[in-house]
Amino acid sequence: MNISYNWLKEYIDIDLQPAVLAEKLTNAGLETLIVETSPEFFKSIVVGHVVSKEKHPDADKLSVCMIDLGRGEPQQIICGAPNIEVGQNVPVATIGTTFPDGMKIKKAKLRGVESNGMVCSERELDLSQDHSGIMVLDDHAELGMDMKAYLSGNDVRFELDLTPDRSDALGHIGVARDLAALLGTEMRKPLLEIIESNTATSSIISVELDDPKACPRYAARIIKNVKIAESPAWMRQRLQTAGIRSINNVVDAANYVLIETGHPLHTFDLRYIEGGKIIVRKAFDKEKITTLDGKERELDDSVLLICDAKKPVAVAGVMGGENSEVKDDTTDLLLESAYFDPVVVRRGAKKLQLATDASHRFERGTDPNGIPSALDRLATLIVELAGGELTQGQVDAYPHVIEPLEVSLRSERCNAILGTTLDLATMAKILNGLELFHTEKNGIFQVKVPTFRPDITREIDLIEEIGRIFGYNNIPVPQHFSIANKINRKTPDQMREKIIDHLAAVGFNQIYANGLLALDEHPEVFGDEEALLLANPLSKDMASMRSSLLMGMAKVADYNINRRQSDLKLFELGQVSTLDLNSDTGARETSHLGIFISGDLQIKQWSQESVPVDIFHMKGMLRSVFQDLFGLTIAFQSLEHDLFSESLGVYLNEEKIGVLGNLKMINQNLKSVRGVYAEVRISENLGLEQSIQYQKVSIYPAVERDLSIIIDSDIAYEQIDESINKNAGKSLLYSRLYDIYEGKSIASGKKSLTFRLVFQNKTRTLTEKEIDKDFQRILKGLEDAYNATLREAI
Amino acid sequence: MSLFKKVDELRSEFKQALASSPALSDLERIRQEYLGRKGILNDLFKKIREVEADRRGEFGELINQLKLDIHDHIEERINEHQAEAKATSSVDVTLPGVRYERGTLHPIESTLRDFKQIFHRLGFAVAEGPEIETQWRNFDALNFPPEHPARDMQDTFFLMNESVLRTHTSPVQVRIMLEETPPIRSIMPGRVYRNEAIDAGHYCLFHQVEGLYVDEHVTMGELKATLELFCREYFGQNVKLRFRPSFFPFTEPSSEMDVSCFLCGGKGCKVCKQTGWLEIGGCGMVDPNVFKAVNIDSEKYTGYAFGMGIERIAMMKYGITDIRLLFENDVRFLKQF
């Protein structure tokens, strides 16, 4: 909402710099910005008075004018416009003015005659498209005044960004009230002088409220014989600063009162109101009305209508009907001032997909008891601007009076919440400034909350008012404060941090991907996921929640690979969700870890060869995450999977927690994505405190033996490894596969595996004989089970 | 002097000669001196006849050993010199070091870590909740009236089953207040969703950190103190904080918090839109209606809550002007953090 500084001064005596005023309001919860209404270069364009005009000696279309700029001697300025005349006030761009297009006004000679400036057209000032002649200024133009001041009427426009609870501040009077409380001064409301004719309003119009819940109050007045005309300059000026287009004196008056009081009002042309009756009722299903914007709208019973005896004439609180609009030839007016239920107006506006100045205010709650005064204010203003006779009295349908709420406020509680030590007098003064009149006994205020403050219904709301006007920034900050003697440690978060740190430490880049995906972007990574669909997606591309991290990861990989960044080591640790009818949200969410590697894991350097990624890197990485961070052993089992060319299931305690493998092409859009991907569920209890117990390091030497065997090619490593460990005895510390060989010197269909076996005993040095025995037992086991033969040294 | 003693003396003289780390040329000279044809050792061999017959064998062995030792020592030294020379002459030490590439935390993660660390020092635990929530926890329990505009389809993503993608992390407040009894002191980080058109300043999802302290005697002054401490730690000791009354359904009184712009120091610049202030989040005292919804006695307990947007603060801190960069995950972007 826009506020005019000059207009505000009607209700409160203030003399603050605009910036100071804006800050005060902002700190009281009315976020205020100063808005520049005209461009900077208007400062060097001043009001000049044309003193004389003569024809240019050498050019027919040019005039040589003497123009008084309000400083020093009148200046000689050449002007080419046909409409310039002696006695006019005109905008003059003085020497040094730079226009936005870069044009600079300099002292110049035009066909041999000197010119000291330029008289401007409206188009040159970017005020309109009019370039038929120079702009002629009206009477309030003062000599030498700059255009900024001329156009703003020396006013300042403030833009208020109000929170939805502050409907009372949606008018100048409400803002003045807050200011009065802040500054500790008084405000004043407009004085009304009502002159009425002898005809009773009630003899012309009656009001019926069909639904007093939706419309608890409706008041009307009638003015006869008005003359529709343009509004006077002051009115147009005010509305312009408030950002409202001037239409005519009657419509402008209604808008003026809206911006002044925050009360939306409506004016009807009385000749179109049939049957002398206003009926406020819900619309019928499929009932139609053409609103002021010329659109025919189909309604249903969520919409409240203002009707005459025969037809709807307005959508209550939203917009008037075209059929009863005030026109140039209107003479008799019906004025409406009403209170509508905020929810009803909101539904109506939503149904019509309309947001108007009126609906904005009604939705937030207007003052049911401010209706008569707003109506009188409008009536007197119209009579002032458009003449006419006001009939006697208001017709005011108000079956159930809405009383102000009584709310008590304990001063002690107020200080306890705010952390202040305000005394009773300070609190009382703040309350009074806000017209929150009260009595006080034993430190407890009984406050009668006026109906223009629908946001205040409880003690805590009054405490906020005290705090707000006292100033949040004035609330003292304690030098010490206590913390709770209890901290709930939530391990999932710490556990995830551990995983993230580990992966980052070994060279992986963490990503945060968009979790909203198209419906066809749910490749079955786990096979059991059913994605959750959005009822109102932003677009088709984001119509569902991710059920795995793969798609987000693939898109990120694709983005990078297409930008020639193809050696990728990416991971994401995030939430995925699947349908779960047992949960109250209908969803089950789990943490997943997705890892993607592509290209070279190690790039080629002068001293080392490149290392291309493969699934064994991924196996090792997952093993490291679970084993090194959490002391958990995971197992892998090969499986068939549509998404991968080679793939493994990942198991923890016999439970499948993930998959890994070489990605096949996911879809046509992600053709570039080739690499190794793994995704595992990270359940919440992985991070249960791992207790580390130191193991004594053996002081006896470890002995290494290499075992090189030849077996059938189709025997899996895992089987051999298992056999070695089974037959090794207690002294085998570990075995490490360090070579696989097929080819020359090995029979076809055979392969050679070479292990380094490391033996050690914790309590004594092993003898050669003992090691030989272990070695032979291992070999025998392999010979018996897998027909292995010892490979001769080459 | 006996010849035997002479051998001992020669041995120690030789040791001294080597003790001064002779250069390669000196080593050659020393070799000639001891082992050359006219060297000391050959002289000594010639004197073998001067020794009594029964000890000649013993003497011969002694000088032979000395000769071998001298030879070995000199060879060893020469080898050392050669190795040194080789090391300094044939390896181009200006070759680049082997590259170890470090990984990176996403800037949202690192910003969140900074937050957690500071609040952890202030005794806040970390609590979490799901991204998909019931309307009751996301709205009703937080005192959003049924017709509140925030529930509009424009702002909230709904699932087919009426659940919502949480629009803020505040439903986690509801969860922990239902699960635990005061004192409750937690921050609640997490991903939230808004049904807004995507542009440089908006994304359909972002991350928040919520904070909650519920106990007896919690005041707004303490809320200010906590946030001031946080801002000084995070933005720097000279930062100023401003509290502006505002409106949130779940707090009363409610406030916005601004920090003085750390780019211009409060003088006004493009980033702070000439105001000198940057909005960093909202806060306030827990509304009694929220306490009612979670069965906490609002007469006995009071509490404060605050919330900040992680992306917004990360963007201010790192000078990122387009939020979409954070979700594009260009590795050339990621590797800068």
The domain segmentation of chain A, as residue ranges, is 2-30+162-183, 40-152, 196-397, 405-474, 491-687, 703-790
Within A433-484, strands assigned E span: 438-441, 444-449
Residues 418-447 of A with CB under 8 A from B: 418-420
| Other beta carbons within 10 Å of B209 | 23
Residues 499-518 of A with CB under 8 A from B: 500-501, 503-516
Pairing of strands A444-449, A544-545: unpaired
d(CA A20, CA B298): 38
d(CA A667, CA A518): 13
**A515 → closest Cβ in B100, B205, B331:** B205
d(CA A322, CA A302): 21
Q: What is the pLDDT of residue A488?
A: 67
CATH of the domain at B156: 3.30.930.10
Which residues face B307 on adjacent strands? B210, B282
Contacts of B308 (CB under 8 A, 6+ apart): B115, B208, B209, B280, B281
CB contact under 8 A, A536 and B158: yes
Long-range contacts of A408-412 (CB under 8 A, 24+ apart): A408/A444, A408/A445, A408/A446, A408/A447, A408/A459, A409/A438, A409/A444, A409/A445, A409/A447, A409/A459, A409/A462, A409/A463, A409/A466, A410/A443, A410/A444, A410/A459, A411/A443, A411/A444, A411/A445, A412/A443
Peptide bond into A537 cis (omega under 30): no
- Position B95 in a domain: no
Q: Indicate the length of chain A as a whole number.
A: 794
Are both B256 and B207 inside the same structural domain? yes
CB contact under 8 A, B244 and A472: yes
Q: What is the pLDDT of residue A590?
A: 93
Q: Which of B93, B159, B242 to mutate to test the interface with A (most CBs of A within 10 A)?
A: B159
φ/ψ of residue A501, rounded to 5 = -60, -40
CB contact under 8 A, B219 and A164: no
Nearest chain B CA: its distance from A472 CA (Å): 6
**B159 → closest Cβ in A512, A535, A570:** A535
The helix (H) or strand (E) run that includes residue A406 is: strand A405-410
d(CA B138, CA A534): 16
Alpha helices in chain B (DSSP H): 3-19, 24-35, 40-46, 53-90, 107-121, 135-138, 170-179, 220-235, 288-293, 310-318, 325-328, 331-334
Residues 246-305 of A with CB under 8 A from B: none
Are both B85 and B123 inside the same structural domain? no
Radius of gyration of chain B from its Cα atoms, rounded to whole angstroms: 41
Tally helices (H) and strands (E) across chain A. 17, 41
CB contact under 8 A, A585 and B163: yes
pLDDT by residue (tens digit) across B48-64? 888 888 888 888 888 88
Range in A115-119, A163-167, B89-93, B174-178 with the lowest mean pLDDT: B89-93
d(CA A397, CA A384): 26
Cβ pair B241, B279 in contact under 8 A: no
Q: What is the pLDDT of residue B1?
A: 58
Within A154-310, strands assigned E span: 157-161, 196-200, 206-209, 217-224, 265-269, 277-282, 288-290, 296-298, 304-307
For residue A468, list chain B residues with Cβ-Cβ distance below 8 A: 245, 253
Hey, is the C-beta of A476 within 8 angstroms of any chain B C-beta?
A: yes
Comparing alpha-carbon positions, the chain A residue that sits nearest to B285 is: A417
Hey, is the C-beta of A585 within 8 angstroms of any chain B C-beta?
A: yes
Pick from B267, B243, B266: nearest CA to B256: B243
Nearest chain B CA: its distance from A681 CA (Å): 16
The owner of tokens 């939705």 is A363
- Around A597, how many Cα atoms within 13 Å sit in the side-chain half-sphere? 25
Are both B149 and B256 inside the same structural domain? yes
Contacts of A607 (CB under 8 A, 6+ apart): B95, B98
Q: Which of A469, A475, A494 to mutate to test the interface with B (most CBs of B within 10 A)?
A: A475
CA A225 to centroid of chain Cα atoms? 49
Q: What one-character DSSP code corresponds to residue A460?
A: H
For residue A605, list chain B residues with Cβ-Cβ distance below 8 A: 96, 98-99
Are both B47 and B126 inside the same structural domain? no
CB contact under 8 A, B302 and A532: no
Nearest chain B CA: its distance from A25 CA (Å): 9
CB contact under 8 A, B225 and A481: yes
| Number of separate domains in chain B | 2
Comparing alpha-carbon positions, the chain B residue that sits nearest to A603 is: B99
Three-state DSSP state, A303: coil
Give pTM, 2 decimals.
0.83
- Supply the range of the domain harboring residue B84: 3-90
**Stretches in chain A below the pLDDT threshold 70:** 487-491, 687-690, 793-794
Tokens linked to A781: 């086991």
Are both B86 and B178 inside the same structural domain? no
Mean pLDDT of B80-88: 76
Task: Write the CATH number of the domain with boundaries A703-790.
Answer: 3.30.70.380
Residues 122-151 of A with CB under 8 A from B: none
Q: What is the pLDDT of residue B163?
A: 94
Q: What is the pLDDT of residue B276?
A: 87
Cβ pair A649, A637 in contact under 8 A: yes
Are both B111 and B255 inside the same structural domain? yes
Q: Which of B106, B162, B169 to mutate to test the interface with A (most CBs of A within 10 A)?
A: B106
Nearest chain A CA: its distance from B83 CA (Å): 21
> B17 vs B23, B34, B68, B70, B222, CA distance in Å?
11, 11, 16, 11, 80
Nearest chain A CA: its distance from B89 CA (Å): 19
Hey, is the C-beta of A640 within 8 angstroms of any chain B C-beta?
A: no
Fold designation for A491-687: BirA Bifunctional Protein; domain 2 (3.30.930)
Are both B291 and B200 inside the same structural domain? yes
Assess if CATH 3.40.50.300 describes domain A196-397: no
Q: Which of A417, A578, A589, A590 to mutate to test the interface with B (most CBs of B within 10 A)?
A: A417
The owner of tokens 């010892």 is A790
φ/ψ of residue A232, rounded to 5 = -65, 165
Are both B124 and B261 inside the same structural domain? yes
Hey, is the C-beta of A346 within 8 angstroms of any chain B C-beta?
A: yes
**B163 → closest Cβ in A514, A587, A605:** A587
Cβ pair A334, A220 in contact under 8 A: yes
For residue B219, list chain A residues with Cβ-Cβ distance below 8 A: 416-419, 478
CB contact under 8 A, B130 and A575: yes
CB contact under 8 A, A510 and B104: yes
Contacts of B143 (CB under 8 A, 6+ apart): B249, B250, B287, B289, B290, B293
- Position B224 in a domain: yes
- Helices B24-35 and B53-90: crossing angle in degrees, nearest 10, is 160
Pairing of strands A389-392, A196-200: parallel
Q: Which of B90, B122, B146 is the last residue of a domain?
A: B90
Cβ pair B319, B287 in contact under 8 A: no
For residue A574, list chain B residues with Cβ-Cβ distance below 8 A: 191
Cβ pair A466, A459 in contact under 8 A: no
- Around B186, how many Cα atoms within 13 Å sit in the side-chain half-sphere? 25
CB contact under 8 A, B163 and A500: no
Cβ pair B253, A468 in contact under 8 A: yes
- Position B102 in a domain: no
Are both B180 and B244 inside the same structural domain? yes
Peptide bond into A523 cis (omega under 30): no
Tokens linked to A532: 């959750």
The one-letter amino acid code at A144 reads G
For residue B191, list chain A residues with Cβ-Cβ distance below 8 A: 515, 574-575
Hey, is the C-beta of A577 within 8 angstroms of any chain B C-beta?
A: yes
Nearest chain B CA: its distance from A419 CA (Å): 5
Hey, is the C-beta of A586 within 8 angstroms of any chain B C-beta?
A: yes
pLDDT by residue (tens digit) across A648-683? 999 999 999 999 999 999 888 898 999 999 999 998
Three-state DSSP state, A221: strand
Query: Residue B72: pLDDT band by 50, 70, 90 thresholds?
Result: confident
For residue B134, list chain A residues with Cβ-Cβ distance below 8 A: 584-585
Q: What one-character DSSP code corresponds to residue B48?
A: G
Pairing of strands B251-260, B184-193: unpaired
Q: Which of B90, B121, B144 is the last residue of a domain?
A: B90
Please, what sign has the CA dihedral across residues B46, B52, B53, B54?
negative
CB contact under 8 A, A515 and B122: no
Cβ pair A707, A777 in contact under 8 A: no
Query: Residue B45: pLDDT band by 50, 70, 90 thresholds?
Result: confident
d(CA A787, CA A536): 65
Nearest chain A CA: its distance from B250 CA (Å): 12
Contacts of A415 (CB under 8 A, 6+ apart): A421, A422
For residue A587, list chain B residues with Cβ-Cβ distance below 8 A: 130, 132, 159, 163
Q: What is the pLDDT of residue A794?
A: 46
Nearest chain B CA: its distance from A557 CA (Å): 9
Cβ pair A246, A178 in contact under 8 A: no
Are both B172 and B263 inside the same structural domain? yes
Q: Which of B65, B90, B115 is the last residue of a domain?
A: B90
φ/ψ of residue A695, rounded to 5 = -105, 130
Three-state DSSP state, B115: helix
Pick the CATH number of A405-474 from 1.25.40.10, 3.40.50.2000, 3.40.50.300, 3.30.56.10: 3.30.56.10
Q: What is the pLDDT of residue B153?
A: 61
Conformational region of residue A239, where left means phi above 0, alpha means psi within -120 to 50, and beta covers everything else: alpha
| Other beta carbons within 10 Å of A472 | 27
Please, what sign has the CA dihedral across residues A762, A768, A770, A771?
positive
pLDDT by residue (tens digit) across A49-71? 999 988 888 888 888 999 998 88
ipTM of the complex: 0.85
For residue A536, list chain B residues with Cβ-Cβ distance below 8 A: 153, 157-158, 195
d(CA A171, CA A164): 14
The one-letter amino acid code at A693 reads Q
> A444 vs A408, A438, A457, CA distance in Å?
7, 10, 16
pLDDT by residue (tens digit) across B114-123? 999 999 999 9
Pick from B326, B307, B306: nearest CA to B316: B326
For residue B99, list chain A residues with Cβ-Cβ distance below 8 A: 603, 605
Pick from A761, A741, A749, A668: nearest CA to A713: A749
Comparing alpha-carbon positions, the chain B residue that sits nearest to A513 is: B327
Are both B207 and B79 inside the same structural domain? no
Nearest chain B CA: its distance from A662 CA (Å): 21
Q: What is the pLDDT of residue A216?
A: 97
CA max distance for chain A: 131
Are both B140 and B266 inside the same structural domain? yes
Residue B88 has pLDDT above 80, yes or no: no
Q: What is the pLDDT of residue B99?
A: 82
Nearest chain A CA: its distance from B80 CA (Å): 26
Radius of gyration of chain A from its Cα atoms, rounded to whole angstroms: 42
d(CA A80, CA A65): 10
Task: Write the CATH number of the domain with boundaries A40-152.
Answer: 2.40.50.140
For residue B109, list chain A residues with Cβ-Cβ distance below 8 A: 500, 510, 512
- Position B99 in a domain: no
Nearest chain B CA: its distance from A63 CA (Å): 45
